[in-house]
Amino acid sequence: MKQEAIGIEQLLASLPKYYTDEDREIVKRAYELASIAHANQKRASGEPYINHCVAVAGILSDLYMSADAIAAGLLHDVVEDTDVTLQEIREKFGASTSSLVDGVTKLEALPRVSHNDQEDLEDDEAKLTEEQLSRRKKLLGQETLRKTMLAMNKDVRVIVIKLADRLHNMRTLSYTKPEKQRRIARETLEIYAPIANRIGIGEMKWELEDLSLYYLEQEKYKEIAAGLNERRAVRTQQMEKIKKRLAQSLADAGIQAEVSGRPKHIYSIYKKMIGKDRSFDQIMDVRGVRLLVEDKSVCYATLGIIHSQWRPIPGEFDDYIAAPKENMYQSLHTAVMYEDNKPLEVQIRTHEMHQHAERGIAAHWRYKEASKQRDEQYESFLSALRNQLDIKNEDMNADEFIETMKNDVFDEHVYVFTPKGDIIDLPKGSTPIDFAYHVHTDVGHRCRGAKINGKLEPLNYVLKTGDRVVILTTKQGGPSRDWLNPSIGLVKTQRARAKIRVWLKKQAREHNLAQGRQMLEREFHRLGLDEINLENLARQLEYRNPDDMFVALGCGDLSVSRIINLISDQKTPEDIIETSAPKSETASSDAVAVRGLRGLLTQMAKCCNPTPGDPIVGYITRGRGATIHRADCPNILRSSTNEKERLVRVAWGDAAKTYPVPIRITAFDRQGLMNDISNLLNNEGVNITDVNVRVNHDSLKADIANIRLIVEVRDLVQLSRVLNRMENLSNVLEAQRSKAG
């Protein structure tokens, strides 16, 4: 290993000619920043850290990625490991490079799809055939790629940089501790290589697989490598003859073809030996050649010539030009009996198809400016990727494609990262508690706080795609009953709710009873409801007695809000405000305001069923107040003179009637408290008609703020929700309805 740093001249000299002077200038500046930032750091191998950055940049330039991506490759570790900030990268290299670095930094590793998917997969693996198994693995790879792209919300180049990083780490894995080697190799084989294949970078896939095999099955690897070595001389000679013979035959037919042997990859030999149970010699008997020709029509002409000279082996012909593989791989495959009576596999494709086979999506970058036709190729590649990821709209460019992928699923899901970098998908609106229960039931029970992207956030934080979530747990204890309170919005998923209920049910009856009673009393007190008949209430809810109702409350089978709803339905709004605020002019229980006859009991006529907005009239009935009819109701139009005297003019009341209620909030004073309160009310659509804030500075510990508000609520249910949410604002000690107006 080199102990000195690779210099900038060496890096620039290694860049393909394709890169312009302008490109080289960007690469040079990125190198300078990276080498200063990593100046004192070393790799496990003992060589300067910058050599890793240069190696990654080299892999990217072999793929002809753009200069800003190579710069990102050079800088891929600076944000995490040095003092350099994203801000600085943005200022010096622009938004594209900085967003690539940001993406690579956030995506610590290519994630596995959530633990649970993984578990499901492992469950019955034993029962599956090899074909089913590999199909599942493929789907998992596709799912990983899809979710990774969604979660990163960035372009696919982030993944290519991540792959380049991993490739160099694999190349230098021998310097790592043995137990770590196996873990990293397995991860590479299971996640990184399939993703490389998925985006069609064959070159990378092969190398990642071979390197992984070396660390996972070292004996097998060495055996195959030795076998290859032993046969190399004979084989090379043999292949040279075959290549010459083919080239001659084609030249005779007027076809220009580049003929090459196909490199044998150790992992693919290993797989054939294991999977098809063949010996090494049997596999080596199969020779393969690749013919690169000018265009598509020549591919088929070439095929014709090969088939006319040597006997095709039935069942071995595949036309991947007419029907490309899902990663856009195109080629003709056939096998013939060669003159030595051993099979010869032949692949025929154009140079461009070959570029795609080796570099996949990365092949585009080389050709970006070269020609329009090649851009069309890239578009068709993207459209294939779209298809395989099941995106419907064909007429999209790359940005729209990513955007659509987001919107498609983002309506329902968020994708967040575990501390290890695994991806978990949750329904939109999920909170840290939902996340905790998804990871593990026990983590859910013991969840007490959460760090989102390194910052402490409240438990009602709504998770966003791309968030990295760390759950802070207590050693023991269980979920709080508040978690089930929908007004507070701490739990979104049914799965978490169910687990919380199960836990609560396991608690002793007396405990649940006491908790339930306390919850309800507290809520009644808060809402200023004194005279509730608990016996009646329990009966209405179909419990034998109040105690049973309390137990149900305590274990989460019954919610406080259901009780408040019930009471709210029964109590007239006047009851709500009676004890608190003076009646306001607008307050009325009536859906219709009967002019001149305030407070008259009204009911809707069954004959014409008036709905708000219809012109209406009231008809005074004996003892029942007034019946409201549509003005054009036949019964009204036909009414006798006598009856007409009993008609009164009425009008619809305000659609959303509200009632003023005084509330009192006690809190440790803090900056922005009033602002949070008014935002909360604003979100609920609740008006404040009066505010009075007093801060008590005499308190020894902290300033206590006493806030009195008059708010306009629709009903008890809304009042209850608002008070609950207020109590969940940080620093708020108590929020309740005050008795004295």
Q: Which of the residues are catalytic?
A: 80-81
Contacts of residues 596-600 at CB distance under 8 Å and 24 or more positions apart, as own/partner, are: 596/648, 597/626, 597/648, 600/625, 600/626
Among candidates 534, 560, 561, which has minimal Cα distance to 545? 534
Minimum CB separation of residue 205 from Mn ion in Å reads 20
Nearer to Mn ion, 107 or 661 (CB): 107
Alpha-carbon span 592 to 572, nearest angstrom: 15
Whether 736 and 723 have beta carbons less than 8 Å apart is answered as: yes
Can you name the residues that pair with 695 across neighbouring β-strands?
A: 705
Can you name the residues that pair with 170 across neighbouring β-strands?
A: none
How many residues touch Mn ion (CB under 5 A)? 2
Minimum CB separation of residue 127 from Mn ion in Å reads 39
The site map against Mn ion for 579-608 (x = CB under 5 A) is ------------------------------
Alpha-carbon span 487 to 680, nearest angstrom: 12
Minimum CB separation of residue 84 from Mn ion in Å reads 14
Minimum CB separation of residue 80 from Mn ion in Å reads 9
Nearer to Mn ion, 51 or 430 (CB): 51
Alpha-carbon span 480 to 486, nearest angstrom: 13
Alpha-carbon span 178 to 180, nearest angstrom: 5
- The SS3 of residue 160 is helix
Q: Which of residues 7-46 bind Mn ion (CB under 5 A)?
A: none
Whether 330 and 353 have beta carbons less than 8 Å apart is answered as: yes
Nearer to Mn ion, 77 or 155 (CB): 77
Minimum CB separation of residue 82 from Mn ion in Å reads 12
Mind spelling out the 3-state secondary structure of 567-615?
Answer: HHHHCCHHHHHHCCCCCCCCCCCCCEEECCCCCCCEEECCCCCCCCCCC
Nearer to Mn ion, 63 or 605 (CB): 63
By CB under 5 A, residue 77 contacts Mn ion: yes
Nearer to Mn ion, 167 or 633 (CB): 167
Alpha-carbon span 32 to 46, nearest angstrom: 21
Please choose, out of 159-167, 446-454, 585-593, 664-672, the segment that lies near Mn ion by the rule CB under 5 A. 159-167
Minimum CB separation of residue 38 from Mn ion in Å reads 10
Please choose, out of 75-83, 103-111, 180-188, 633-641, the segment that lies near Mn ion by the rule CB under 5 A. 75-83
Minimum CB separation of residue 332 from Mn ion in Å reads 39
By CB under 5 A, residue 165 contacts Mn ion: yes
Minimum CB separation of residue 37 from Mn ion in Å reads 13
Q: Which residue is nearest to Mn ion (CB)?
A: 165
The beta strands (E) that lie in 294-420 are given as 311-312, 318-319, 332-337, 343-350, 413-417
Nearer to Mn ion, 18 or 175 (CB): 175
Residues 6+ apart with CB under 8 A from 398: 155, 382
Minimum CB separation of residue 88 from Mn ion in Å reads 19
Alpha carbon separation from 259 to 94, 288, 293, 357 (Å, rounded): 44, 11, 9, 16
- The SS3 of residue 21 is helix
By CB under 5 A, residue 47 contacts Mn ion: no
Residue 642, CB-side half-sphere exposure with 13 Å CA sphere: 1
Nearer to Mn ion, 104 or 496 (CB): 104
- The SS3 of residue 501 is helix
- The SS3 of residue 737 is strand
Whether 432 and 417 have beta carbons less than 8 Å apart is answered as: no
Mind spelling out the 3-state secondary structure of 238-261?
Answer: HHHHHHHHHHHHHHHCCCCCEEEE
The single residue listed with the structure tokens 């779209």 is 386
End-to-end CA distance of the chain: 82
> What is the token pair recorded at 449?
């706080």
Please choose, out of 69-77, 177-185, 226-234, 628-636, the segment that lies near Mn ion by the rule CB under 5 A. 69-77
Please choose, out of 77-85, 350-358, 389-397, 593-601, the segment that lies near Mn ion by the rule CB under 5 A. 77-85
Nearer to Mn ion, 75 or 436 (CB): 75
Whether 419 and 470 have beta carbons less than 8 Å apart is answered as: yes
Minimum CB separation of residue 274 from Mn ion in Å reads 32
Residues within the interface to Mn ion (CB under 5 A): 77, 165
